[in-house]
């Protein structure tokens, strides 16, 4: 923001006298591009930088208390491989192909920088400090994204707009929370925003841009591409608006005849882009192998490598590739501060005024940077999960647009002190609500939902909360506070969790005194444990909405915004695990005894009820089996085993129609239920419909390629219709 005097704030208006137009039709357009921003106010400038410094300190301090991101399992491994690659000058090539997570397809900027920082400090992944270095680095990059967004708003509309933007971002719990521990989306957002801000700053000064801003473009482009191949979008935006600025400022197509000007634009654009590309390659060994091929291969492969996971959306558990069109829009609308949402929508309504009043190219660039990524994801029907974290980089431009709206509202208000005070009070209250969530939930503000969703409490059971399991750290700290976890434990403590990596790293200091077991929520009875740590991730939405979670054996619950986020469970008697073990040995009497003891102690244990029902079924006690299965479904409507159990009950009763309906319901609730497809095939085979049976069996095999009974039944059906060759193929597959 160029300093041009100390005009009082109330006089900070754009010049009402247009410049003399040129003789070309593009003259008025050129004038628009050369509009000056409001004069710099020394007081506002101090306020801005004071808020910026406060924001940086706040983010770094908060980051030190954050839990470990579950995805760090892949990021840390990649970081260590990258350190080995560069440390051996390329002799250690393990970073060139990392099958687990396909991490080699990602740029390594963040992982290289933090990896070598941790090496310099002598820290290992089993040290909490190792992760705090990563978290503090993420926090700094989150601050960079905020700062560049604010500087862009200031470049467009002045210091006050810059301050509003910065404050909006500092009170955005989702962005702040991600900044504390998100090593991919936050660094990417920082590079994206750095490139866009410096692009505007450079072209505003053409033909004599500041070197600092030229460096800023290159570094921003380099960081974005040095995080993920999608950073190529930043290069495209840079090229697009560089071209538009060149044409609009220099007479349209006739600008190409102006050799010196064309040369200057090419030097700036091509030079900065080339420097940014080279910067990214320095941190990306896979791309270094074929600089002009591999980044584009990585970009193309991401569509094929999309991870399909079970997500909770609008109260329904579904696969991430089956989410509706409004998935991203609804997540954004429910998880950003209402003040930002109103501001962004309002800015769209005032877009024509904003474009007339300020430099239209940069106002349009803000809208493009905010809207295009979201539109493109919807248009391409891309798979996104974990809320809208993959679109985090679009949020800083959203805040810029929102700030332009609120700044303009302040400009439009009459110069009456009471109205101005009222307007600032509205802004203050709108910021205080989300800021309060950050203050009361400093370890994981990213689980925030706004008032439209009823807050985090209202969103509970309808949307994912702690999808990264960062609350595991708080659960372990509670165990330490209670003296359950301590260095001089007399016996080994067994802790079960579905967030294995973070629990393992955070308990490494206890050595062999703590054993971490990875057990999915629906497999928590497969082995014995003393305590268990489970966040809400992957738990049935129906169970959550019914208030059946946390379960009865929870001894501590980590909450945020009035909603339970993580439960610390205690197992006394090991009845569920012992009952399951007896089931595997076909010791039905002991299994029933143990599982009945479990449901007596923990009445809302759906797994115990489902397995008790299975034990009853195996013992021929059909009505008891049905009653136990129905009890399990009361607790967890999507429980696969319980749904299948009811279907088997009807099959045992020779009620094929009700059995078929039940298995179809089971598949609707869990599409990956291979067992249900198998029994639907059995029902079809018994009715003489061989083709339907074979189709259902193929679906079972596609879901579970090692499902031997499905191959055996397929072979039997082919033999029954005289196709011995196909029957032999399926029997060979069994072997």
The two structure tokens encoding residue 485: 């976890």
Residue 527 contacts by C-beta under 8 Å, 6 or more apart in sequence?
496, 517, 519, 577
pTM above 0.85, yes or no: yes
pLDDT band for position 410 (cuts 50, 70, 90): very high
pLDDT, tens only, 104-150: 999 999 999 999 999 999 999 999 999 999 999 999 999 999 999 99
**Domain boundaries for CATH 1.25.40.10 within the chain:** 586-734
Phi/psi for 354 (5° steps) reads -65, -40
pLDDT band for position 14 (cuts 50, 70, 90): very low
Q: What is the mean pLDDT of residues 37-48?
A: 83
Residue 255 contacts by C-beta under 8 Å, 6 or more apart in sequence?
246, 247, 249, 261, 262
Determine the pLDDT at residue 253: 86
Determine the pLDDT at residue 1: 40
Burial of 263 (0-12, 13-18, 19+ CB in 10 A): exposed
Phi/psi for 273 (5° steps) reads -65, -40
- Among 344, 345, 336, 346, which residue's Cα sits nearest to residue 450? 336
Q: What is the mean pLDDT of residues 536-544?
A: 90
pLDDT, tens only, 322-351: 889 999 999 999 999 999 999 999 999 999
pLDDT, tens only, 169-222: 999 999 999 999 999 999 999 999 999 999 999 999 988 899 999 999 999 999
Q: What is the mean pLDDT of residues 8-35?
A: 47
pLDDT band for position 80 (cuts 50, 70, 90): very high
Helix or strand run (H / E) with residue 497:
strand 493-497
pLDDT, tens only, 478-510: 999 999 999 999 899 999 999 999 999 999 999
Mean pLDDT of the residues in the chain? 91
Q: What is the mean pLDDT of residues 558-562?
A: 95
Check whether the bond before 207 is cis (ω within 30° of 0).
yes
How far apart are alpha carbons 253 and 492 in whole angstroms? 76
Determine the pLDDT at residue 124: 95
Determine the pLDDT at residue 409: 93
- Among 66, 97, 295, 277, which residue's Cα sits nearest to residue 186? 66
Classify 645 as helix, strand or coil.
helix
The two structure tokens encoding residue 309: 């996971």
The HSE-up count of residue 27 (CA atoms within 13 Å, CB side) is 8
Q: Are the C-beta atoms of 584 and 614 separated by less than 8 Å?
A: no
Q: Which CATH number fits domain 586-734: 3.40.718.10, 3.40.50.1000, 1.25.40.10, 3.40.640.10?
A: 1.25.40.10
Asked if residue 632 has pLDDT above 90, the reply is: yes
Instruction: Give me the percent of the chain exceeding a pLDDT of 90.
Output: 79
Residues in the chain: 735
Determine the pLDDT at residue 28: 58
Asked if residue 513 has pLDDT above 70, the reply is: yes
pLDDT band for position 3 (cuts 50, 70, 90): very low
pLDDT band for position 154 (cuts 50, 70, 90): very high
Asked if residue 626 has pLDDT above 50, the reply is: yes
């Amino acid at each position: 923001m160029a300093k041009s005097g100390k005009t009082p704030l109330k006089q900070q208006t754009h010049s009402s006298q247009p410049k003399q137009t040129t003789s070309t039709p593009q003259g008025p357009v050129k004038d628009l591009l050369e509009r000056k921003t409001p004069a710099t106010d020394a007081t506002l400038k101090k306020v801005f930088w004071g808020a910026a410094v406060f924001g940086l300190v706040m983010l770094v301090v908060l980051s030190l208390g954050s839990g470990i991101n579950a995805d760090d399992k892949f990021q840390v491994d990649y970081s260590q491989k990258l350190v080995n690659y560069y440390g051996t000058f390329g002799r250690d090539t393990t970073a060139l192909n990392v099958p687990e997570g396909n991490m080699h397809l990602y740029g390594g900027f963040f992982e290289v920088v933090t990896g070598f920082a941790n090496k310099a400090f002598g820290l290992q992944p089993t040290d909490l400090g190792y992760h705090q270095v990563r978290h503090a680095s993420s926090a700094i990059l989150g601050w960079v994204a905020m700062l560049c967004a604010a500087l862009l708003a200031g470049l467009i509309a002045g210091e006050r707009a810059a301050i509003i933007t910065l404050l909006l971002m500092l009170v955005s719990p989702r962005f702040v929370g991600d900044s504390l521990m998100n090593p991919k989306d936050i660094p990417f957002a920082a590079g994206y925003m750095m490139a866009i801000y410096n692009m505007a700053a450079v072209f505003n000064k053409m033909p004599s841009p500041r070197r600092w801003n030229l460096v800023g473009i290159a570094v921003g482009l380099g960081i974005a591409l040095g995080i993920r191949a999608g950073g190529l979008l930043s290069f495209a935006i840079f090229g697009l608006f560089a071209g538009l600025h060149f044409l609009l400022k220099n007479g349209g197509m006739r600008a190409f005849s102006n050799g010196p000007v064309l040369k200057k634009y090419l030097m700036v654009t091509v030079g900065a882009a080339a420097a940014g590309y080279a910067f990214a390659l320095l941190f990306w060994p896979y791309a270094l192998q074929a600089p002009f091929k591999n980044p584009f291969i990585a970009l193309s492969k991401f569509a094929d490598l999309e991870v399909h996971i079970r997500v909770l959306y609008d109260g329904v558990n579904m696969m991430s590739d089956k989410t509706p069109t409004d998935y991203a829009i609804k997540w954004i609308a429910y998880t950003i501060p209402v003040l930002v949402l109103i501001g962004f929508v309002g800015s769209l309504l005032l877009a024509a005024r904003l474009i007339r009043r300020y430099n239209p190219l940069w106002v349009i660039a803000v809208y493009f940077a905010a809207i295009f990524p979201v539109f493109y994801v919807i248009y391409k029907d891309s798979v996104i999960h974990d809320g809208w974290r993959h679109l985090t980089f679009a949020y800083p431009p959203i805040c810029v647009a929102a700030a332009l709206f609120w700044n303009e509202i302040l400009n439009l208000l009459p110069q009456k002190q009471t109205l101005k005070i009222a307007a600032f009070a509205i802004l203050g209250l709108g910021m205080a609500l989300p800021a309060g969530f950050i203050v009361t939930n400093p370890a994981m503000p990213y689980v925030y939902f706004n008032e439209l969703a009823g807050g985090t409490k209202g969103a509970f059971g309808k949307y994912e909360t702690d999808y990264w399991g960062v609350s595991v750290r708080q659960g372990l700290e509670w165990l330490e506070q209670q003296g359950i976890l301590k260095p001089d434990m007399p016996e080994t403590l067994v802790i079960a969790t579905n967030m294995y990596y973070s629990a393992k790293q955070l308990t490494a200091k206890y050595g062999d005194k703590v054993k971490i077991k990875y057990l999915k929520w629906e497999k928590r009875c497969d082995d014995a444990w003393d305590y268990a740590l489970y966040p809400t991730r992957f738990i049935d939405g129906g169970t959550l909405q019914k208030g059946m979670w946390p379960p009865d054996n929870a001894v501590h619950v980590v909450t945020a915004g009035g909603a339970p986020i993580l439960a610390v469970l205690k197992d006394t008697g090991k009845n569920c695990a012992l009952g399951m073990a007896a089931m595997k040995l076909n010791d039905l009497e002991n299994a029933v005894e143990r599982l009945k003891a479990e449901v007596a102690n923990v009445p809302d244990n759906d797994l115990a009820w489902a397995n008790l029902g299975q034990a009853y079924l195996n013992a021929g006690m059909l009505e008891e089996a049905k009653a136990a299965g129905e009890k399990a479904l009361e607790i967890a409507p999507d429980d696969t085993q319980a749904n299948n159990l009811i279907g088997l009950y009807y099959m045992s009763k020779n009620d094929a129609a009700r059995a078929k309906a039940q298995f179809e319901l089971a598949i609707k609730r869990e599409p990956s239920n291979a067992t249900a497809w198998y029994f639907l095939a059995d029902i079809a085979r018994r009715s003489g419909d061989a083709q339907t049976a074979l189709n259902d069996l193929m679906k079972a095999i596609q879901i579970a390629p090692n499902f031997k009974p499905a191959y055996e039944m397929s072979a039997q059906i082919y033999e029954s219709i005289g196709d011995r060759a196909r029957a032999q193929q399926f029997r060979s597959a069994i072997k």
